[in-house]
Amino acid sequence: MHLNFKNIIKGTYYPPGDKSISHRALILASQAIGKSSISNLLEGEDVINTLKAMKLLGANIKKQNGKYIIYGLPPGALRQPRSVIDFGNSGTGIRLLLGLIASNNIKVNLVGDKSLSKRPMRRVTDHLKKIGADIKLKNDSFPPVRIQGVGDAIPLKYNINIPSAQIKSAIMLSALNTNGLVEIKEFKSTRDHTENMLKAMGYNINVKESKIYRNIRMRNNKDLNPIRYVVPGDPSSAAFFITAACLKPGSKLIVKNMLFNKTRIGFVKTLKKMGADIKIVNKRIINYETVADLKVNQKGYLKPVILPSKDVPLQIDEIPILSVAASYANGKSVFKGLKELTVKESDRLKLIHHNLLEMGVESKIKNYDLHIYGNNELKKGGAKINHHHDHRIVMAFYIANLICLKNNKIDDKSSVKTSYPSFFQHIRKHSH
């Protein structure tokens, strides 16, 4: 089935389990003594590679009745793996595990696919070297990574200026086996799932926010408790369907059990600024994470928007689909400060710009700012999408078919397995 300008999006939609939380649930449950149970785990390739990694490092993980049962090892007790650990395309998996391994006295080789082998690691490894870990990178920057962890890691204070939850979480995972106080100052807010899950597991963590920075203090004098955890729906996956419903007057979509963490819903606020009719209902807190249902009932065209750079980290994964939305809004939209997009699975900034031009949308890049000159007219479409096998580019420009006279040509349907294996199945279900 192909989307086209005649389709509307409707029905009750359940997003797949959140990818960021799925990674962390596997890792942290593997550091708790006792039986943990994880439901609604995202079974995408990235998360499965993290699962395989934790097994190689000694965790006992089995699937029973749709749930993952985990018997973990205490911090500092990771086992020497018998083979190289392959993370495929997962930047999150490899960076988080580098943090965990760094404070364990084991030697590990970590590799990835062609795309991952071009993604920078020093933003993480430079911090981890300070605690005593010996780390070697290809060309001093990229995977493969050889790491010799240290069993007596040095407690340090960190200032994080790059807005990256992966950097922060890697440091926090290393702190699980560091004697003494570890303190992190984060100057731009990023995803706080690691903090929330540590709280849910009874760990000694204190988080305070000021106008200037977010302060995280950790002291490892208390074990992690095992947990029963239901992974909420992934907002970054839901964004494709929510935006699709916003593009098509007449669409009515109910979204159930979606993660509504304030660091992850920037795209909802942006769409509402653009005139989308999105109502948030049944908001509740489960295991320190906010979950909500949404009602999307779009009746008119979207308006252009200016997205300031400070808000980009709160919707970094949604920029591709928001760019499609902006192309159908009457006027100029500007997304500012998109440098972080250049070091994702691809240079997403360049690919968004190129593909918008190819499907008939005027677009410019100025100093990492993306300018999109949209209008409410259907685009010519029919573009051969340049995707570099990047799952979010593939999905965004597939949704773009809703506003195109001719379907864009996308020769990749497999990359969605990274984060959203059921994407095309859900399209068939909710497109009418």
d(CA 106, CA 86): 17
Q: Which one, of 208, 232, 228, lies nearest residue 218 by Cα?
A: 208
Q: Which two three-digit tokens encode residue 168?
A: 């922060």
Is the CB of residue 356 less than 8 Å from the CB of residue 345? no
d(CA 89, CA 94): 9
Is the CB of residue 61 less than 8 Å from the CB of residue 68? yes
Q: Which residue in 18, 192, 317, 390 is the catalytic one?
A: 317
Q: Can 317 be counted among the known catalytic residues?
A: yes
Phi, psi torsion values for 26, nearest 5 degrees: -65, -45
Only one residue has tokens 């790491």, namely 147
Is the CB of residue 268 less than 8 Å from the CB of residue 255? no
Is the CB of residue 298 less than 8 Å from the CB of residue 246? yes
Is the CB of residue 313 less than 8 Å from the CB of residue 340? yes
Q: Which one, of 426, 428, 7, lies nearest residue 234 by Cα?
A: 426
Q: Which one, of 374, 377, 380, 432, lies nearest residue 405 by Cα?
A: 380
Q: Which one, of 107, 58, 117, lies nearest residue 84 by Cα?
A: 107
d(CA 96, CA 222): 21
Cis ω on the peptide bond leading into residue 304 (within 30° of 0)?
Answer: no
Per DSSP bridges, beta strands 67-71 and 35-39 are antiparallel
Terminal C-alpha separation, the chain: 11
Q: What's 336-402 look like in SS3?
A: CCCHHHHHCCCCHHHHHHHHHHHCCCEEEEECCEEEEEECCCCEEECCECCCCCCHHHHHHHHHHHH
DSSP state of 286: E
Neighbouring CB atoms inside 10 A of 163's CB total 21
Query: Where in the sequence numbering do the catalytic residues fall?
Result: 317
